[in-house]
Every structure is written in structure tokens, then in C-alpha cells.
Amino acid sequence: MIENKPLVSVNQLTRFYGKVCAIKDISFDINRGEILGLLGPNGAGKSTTMQIISGVLSANSGSVSIAGYDIQDSPKLAKKNIGFLPEQLPLYYDLTIDEYLLYAAKLRGIKKINLKEKIDICKERCGLENLGLRLINNLSKGYKQRVGLAQAIVHTPSIIILDEPTSGLDPKQILEIRELMHELSKNHSIILSTHILSEVETICDRVLIINKGNIVLDQHLKDLLSNKNSLEKTFLHLTENNKKINE
């Protein structure tokens, strides 16, 4: 019965920054093995939503459940199931890849006997197996992104939360990171936050469009596209209508 329950359940999240409402009554579920694209223009509330789900921020109201654990009531148990890569990479540039991943693994509470195995596995999955002694500061932006992804999966989480994972990369690096995300999706559920429409079409099973802090669409991508709608036209139509409603 547990397997049939949503892996992530988000219920009526609301968050204010001062008097500004960043998100209002956001609710959705994510199933095991699903890749959800959280799509919206800059400032729509995507990053706020991601940070609340990952436990970085607290909501003013609402709740988040990860694998059956409430992120506020049982944060340690909930966060064992989460791998998070924020838009600003959480890297220590004066460490080597091996040193950094060892540090990340210890923070995640991985037992000493399993440390090397876990680090080797995540390096292999992220294409870093021969680069462990390289200083992070000397890596290209694309490989720094890979190191960020490696720290997010070192503890084998149920869900990976990625905030703008291809931001600032060149076209070749974008293709490499997308291919890596496809590979990771075989063993993890993924929430991908982006404002790039083609990224959602390429990677995601389901799209959730958020604008002005409100959800304006939640639909499986294949159903949306089978109705001869383009994601671009749908996105523009919904965000423009939502702007008018909020004016």
C-alpha cells in the first residue's frame, strides 16, 4: 500500500516575503519514478516552492510530506529521501572532487564502511570516475554541475530536486546534463525547475506551470501534446491570462 502513495505530497503551501506573496495555496503530488517539470517565468515562485519542499525554507502555511514524513515534524527522516541541487552550486572550490564528496557523504550520515562505495557509484553515474583528484575550482562549469549532481545523489535519495540545472551552460554542456538527468531518472523521481520550455519537453513526464505564485496547469506532457497543443503556446496563454487575473 505504501508504494501506491505519492512520494511527495505538497498541500496548500503559502509563503510571504514581507508583504509580498511568493506562492499561494500550492498543492500537487509526485509519484515514484516520475519526472515533474516545474515551469514558469522568472519570479513565478518556482525556487521558493523547491526550497520549501527541500526544507531550506519554511512555509507560512501548508505542509510537505516526503515518503510519508512531514518535512517540518520529521525533517531528518524526510531529508534522507531528498537530494537537492540549488541554482547556486553548493561547492567548496578549494577541495578536490573526492574530498568534497567525502564531506557530503559524511554530512548525509553514510556509514564509514560504505563511504568509498557510495562515492565511487555516484562519481561513475555522473561521469566523474577518473577526476576524483581534480580541484573543483579548475573544472569547467559543466563538470562543476556534475559534481553538484553527485552530492545530491550520494546518499541514494528517493527524489532529486534540481533548480535550473542547466543555467549558464553552453549547448554541449546542456546536452550532457540532460543526458545525465535521463540516466538518473531510472533510479530516482525528479523535480526539475526551469524556465526553458524545450528542457521540459525533452526530459519530463508531467508539467506543472506556475505563474505569479499560482499553479495554472498540472498535466501529463503526452496528454498536453496529444491534443495538438504546443507547450510554448499553452505556457504563453496561461501565464498571460494569469497576469490579467492578478492585475
* Structural domains of the chain, with CATH: 1-81+161-168+190-247 (3.40.50.300)
Structure confidence by residue, pLDDT tens digits, 173-195: 888 888 888 888 888 899 998 87
CA dist list (Å): 94 to 4, 98, 244: 44, 12, 48
Structure confidence by residue, pLDDT tens digits, 2-23: 456 889 999 999 999 999 999 9
Structure confidence by residue, pLDDT tens digits, 71-129: 999 999 999 999 999 888 999 999 999 999 999 999 999 999 999 999 999 999 898 99
Residue with cell 506551470: 209
With cut-offs at 50, 70 and 90, classify the pLDDT of residue 162.
very high
pLDDT for the residue numbered 247: 44
State the Cα torsion 11-17-18-24 to the nearest 10°.
Answer: -30
Do residues 95 and 147 touch, judged by C-beta distance below 8 A? no
Report the chain's mean pLDDT, rounded to a whole number: 88
Which cell goes with 4? 501506491
Structure confidence by residue, pLDDT tens digits, 128-151: 999 999 999 999 999 999 999 999
Considering only residues 236 and 35, tell me which one the structure prediction assigns the higher pLDDT.
35
CA dist list (Å): 92 to 54, 83, 126, 151, 164: 21, 18, 18, 12, 20
pTM for this entry: 0.86
